[in-house]
Amino acid sequence: MNHSMQISAGAVRTASLDAWRKLAPMQAIKSPVMFVVWVGTLWSFAMTVQRLLQDQPYGFALCCSLILLFTVWFANFAEAIAEARGRDQAASLKATRRDLTATLRNKAGQLTQVNASTLKQGDVVVVEPGQLIPADGEIVQGVASINESALTGESAPVLREAGTDHSGVIAGTKLLSGRIEVQVTAESGHSFLDKMIRLVEGTQRQKTPNELALTVLLAALTLVFLLAVATLPSMAEFVGIKLDPLLLIALLVCLIPTTIAGLLPAIGIAGMNRALAANLIAKSGKAVEVAGDIDTLLLDKTGTITFGDRQATAFLPLPGVTQTELVRVAVLSSLQDPTPEGKSVVKLARELGDITELPQAAEFVPFSAETRLSGLRLPAEGADSGQGFASSYISSFAYKGASDAICRFALSQGLAVPQALEGIVSKVAQQGATPLVVVSAKRILGVIQLSDVIKPGVAERFAKLRALGVRTVMVTGDNPITAGAIAAVAGVDDFVAEARPEDKLALIRAEQAKGHLVAMVGDGTNDAPALAQADVGLAMNSGTQAAKDAGNMVDLDSDPTKLLAVVEVGKQLLITRGALTTFSLANDVAKYFVIIPAVFAASMPGIGLLNLMQLPDPQIAVISALIFNAVIIPLLIPLALKGVKIRAISAENLLRNNLLIYGLGGLLLPFVAIKLIDLGLNWML
C-alpha cells in the first residue's frame, strides 16, 4: 500500500464541500474559538442586511461578513483536507476488502462454500494456494507463504505457521503456497482491516488529552478577550467615542487564537496519517500523542538492534574434550531444533565433516523461557539400542543453552562445572557473540559461538533519540558480558541481561513507578501483558492476535525497529502543535498592537502615537487585519499536515528555536503583512 503524502484533486474538491457542511451549528460548536467566529459571522451578516434595508452604507459590513465567513470556512477546510487525505489512504485499504468467499469446515468436518461476511468467531476455514484469506484469524494447521502487499506495500512474501508466534493472518491477504486451516478471530465488520479503515477515515477520532487541554486554554483566552472587547464601548463612550459594532466583532476575531484553533484538528489527524504513511496503525490519536512524550524505550536485542539471524561460527571445546566430541553432541542437541540457530549448528558441523544422525527413540526437548535450554534425551533402554556413538557421547541427554542455565542444570545432575568454562564464555561474550554451552549426561563439553550483526544506522538513531530526551534500554536473554558488548556498540543507554518475558512487565512497571512513560515492542502472546502495560505498545502485524489486541499500535511491516519511528512521529506531532500554538499566540499579540492604535488614532491622538504602521483608515486597517487573519490559516495547512521537521536537539534548544522562529516570526509577520495588505487596499480604493 502506497501511503502517499500528496493530496489528490478529488480530495481537495471533497474537502471544499465538507468545509461548507461543517458550518452546521452542531459541527461548529465543537471548537469554542471558531464557534465565536461563527456567531460573529452571523451577527455581521445580520447587520449587513439591516443596513441594506435601511439604505445605509453596507460595503464595510459586507466585507467583514465575507472575510469572517471564509475564516470559518478555511478552518473547516484545514480539518476536512486532513480527513480527505485519510480517506484517500483508506481507499487503497478498501480495495483489498471485497466480496470474499470462504471454504468453511463445519462440525461434521464437511467443507462448504459460504460468503466471508457470514463467518463468525471460532469458525474454521480452509484456504488453498492462490486464494484470498477471507477473515482475520490464527492458523491452526499448516505452514503458509502469504503475500501481504495489499496492506503493507512489501512485495516479499511472509511465512506463517501454526503453533508459533507468527500464526496470525489478515483478511484480504493472498495465500501463495501451502494449505492452511484458519480459525476466525474477528467477525465481519470487526476485522483488523475494518478497524484500519475506520481509523484512517477519522470516524473514530477523539480529541487527545493534550488537545482537550489546549482547547480549554484557547477557550479561556477567547473568553478573556470577549470580556475585554465587551468593555470597550463603555470606555469609548467615556472619552466621547462611538464604536461601530462591526469594529468590535472584527477586533474580537483578530485577537482570539483563531489560527491554532482552526489548525488544531488537522494537526491531530495529520499525526495519525503520518503514522499510517510509515505503515503504522494507531488505534487512537492518543497513542500517537503519547509516543511524543515517551522518555524510556524498551527494545529487544534480537531483530531490533541486531538482525536476529544468529549463526554458529565456531565450536570451542573445553580442555580435555576433543573437537569431534563437542561437535557430535552439539549436533545431537540441534538435529530437531527448528530455530535458525539450531539449524546453523548442524550446517556448520556438516561443513566440518560431521555425519552424526538422530538416534532411535530420541525425544526432542524444545527451548523454553523457563529452562533456557534445548536438545534431546534418550530413554534408558534407547541409549544402547544400536547407537554406539550416542551411548558413548551422551548416554541419556544432550543439551545446549545459556551458560547460567546449563551450569544450574549440570549441578542439578551432579556434574561439575569446569573452571575453564567461564573464560571461554567471557571471551565469546566480549566479542559481542552469544555463547551456547553444550552438556551431555557425562560432562560439560564446551561452547558454540553464535554471531549476530548489529543493524547499520542503529547507533545514530539512538543518539538522535537521546538528544530528544529518550532513554533507550536493551532487553535480552544474553548473559551480561555479551549484552554489555552489544549495548556499547549499539549505543543504548542501559541494558537488562538474562531477561525472561515476565521481566519485561516488571521492568515497565518499575520505570512507570519512577514517573517515566515507556514504549516497547512485542509480537508473541507472552508479550501481551507487557504491551498492555506499556504507555505505547507496538505489536507486530506478523505476531499473534493477543499481541495485536494488547498493543495500542500495530506495525504492518513487522519491523521491530519501527518503534524508533513511532517516537519520532509522536514527537513531531507535539512539536508541530507547539510551534503553531506559539505562532498563533504571537500573531494575536502583534494584531492587538496593530489594530487598537489604528482604530482609536483619529479620536485619541495619544493612542495614535502607537500607530507605528501608520495605517490611515481604521476601517481599511480592520479589513486588512481580517484578511491576514483569514488567509494565514490556509497558508499554514501544508505545515500542519506535513509537520515541523524534527531535529536531534535538547528540549531547551528546541524551545529556544521555537520561540525564535515561530514566536518572533509570529510577532513580526502581522506588522509587515497587514501593512502590505493595507497599502494594496488603499491603492485599489
Take residue 257 and report the three cell numbers written for it. 487564537
Q: Model-level pTM?
A: 0.69
Check: CB of residue 396 under 8 Å from CB of residue 380. yes
Rounded Cα distance, 579 and 143, in Å: 50
Name the residue with cell 501511503.
3
Q: What CA–CA distance (Å, rounded) separates 248 from 26?
A: 25
pLDDT digits (tens, 9 = 90+) for 69-80: 999 999 999 888
What is residue 148's predicted lDDT score, i.e. its pLDDT? Answer: 74
Integer angstrom CA distances of residue 239 from 58, 236, 252, 600:
27, 5, 21, 11
Does pLDDT of 242 surpass 60? yes
C-beta contacts of 339-347 below 8 A and 24+ residues apart = 339/367, 339/374, 340/309, 340/310, 340/311, 341/310, 341/311, 341/312, 341/436, 341/450, 342/374, 344/310, 344/311, 344/312, 344/450, 345/312, 345/400, 345/448, 347/312
Helix (H) or strand (E) holding 131: none
| Residues comprising the chain, all counted | 685
How far apart, in whole angstroms, are the C-alpha atoms of residue 573 and residue 640? Answer: 9
User: What per-residue confidence (pLDDT) applies to 400?
Assistant: 93
Compute the mean pLDDT over every residue in the chain, rounded to the nearest whole number.
82
Residues 374, 358: contact at Cβ < 8 Å?
Answer: no
More confident residue, 619 or 580: 580
**Residue 132 has what DSSP assignment?**
B
- Name which of 512, 574, 572, 573 is nearest 537 in CA terms: 512
Lowest mean pLDDT among 125-139, 183-197, 342-356, 483-497: 183-197
Quick one: pLDDT at residue 390? 44
The catalytic residues are: 300
Reported as a single tens digit per residue, the pLDDT across 46-69 is 999 998 998 888 888 899 999 999
Q: Which of 45-54, 199-208, 271-280 is the least confident region?
A: 199-208
Identify the pLDDT of residue 383: 43
Give the C-alpha separation, 401 to 445, whole Å: 12
DSSP secondary structure letter of residue 434: E
H or E, element range at 650: none
Residue 1: pLDDT band with limits 50, 70, 90? very low
Element (H, E) at 279: none
pLDDT, tens digit, 9 for 90 and up, residues 640-680: 988 888 776 666 777 788 888 899 999 999 889 988 998 88
Rounded distance, CA 210 to CA 207, Å? 8
The answer to whether residue 156 scores a pLDDT higher than 80 is no
Domains recognised in the chain with CATH numbers = 9-90+200-278+568-684 (no CATH), 101-134+136-185 (2.70.150.10), 312-451 (3.40.1110.10)
Contacts of 435 (CB under 8 A, 6+ apart): 403, 424, 425, 428, 429, 447, 448, 449, 450, 479, 482
How many Å separate Cα 438 from the centre of its chain? 41
Over the stretch 507-537, which tens digit does the pLDDT of each residue have?
A: 999 999 999 999 988 777 777 888 889 998 8
- Indicate whether 386 pLDDT > 70: no
Residues 6+ apart with CB under 8 A from 291: 519, 536, 553, 566, 567, 569, 570, 571
> In this predicted model, what pLDDT tens digit does every residue of 36-46 receive, in sequence order?
999 999 999 99
pLDDT given for residue 314 in this prediction = 92
- CB of 373 within 8 A of CB of 405? yes
Which pLDDT value is given to residue 604?
A: 63
Residue 35 has pLDDT above 90, yes or no: yes
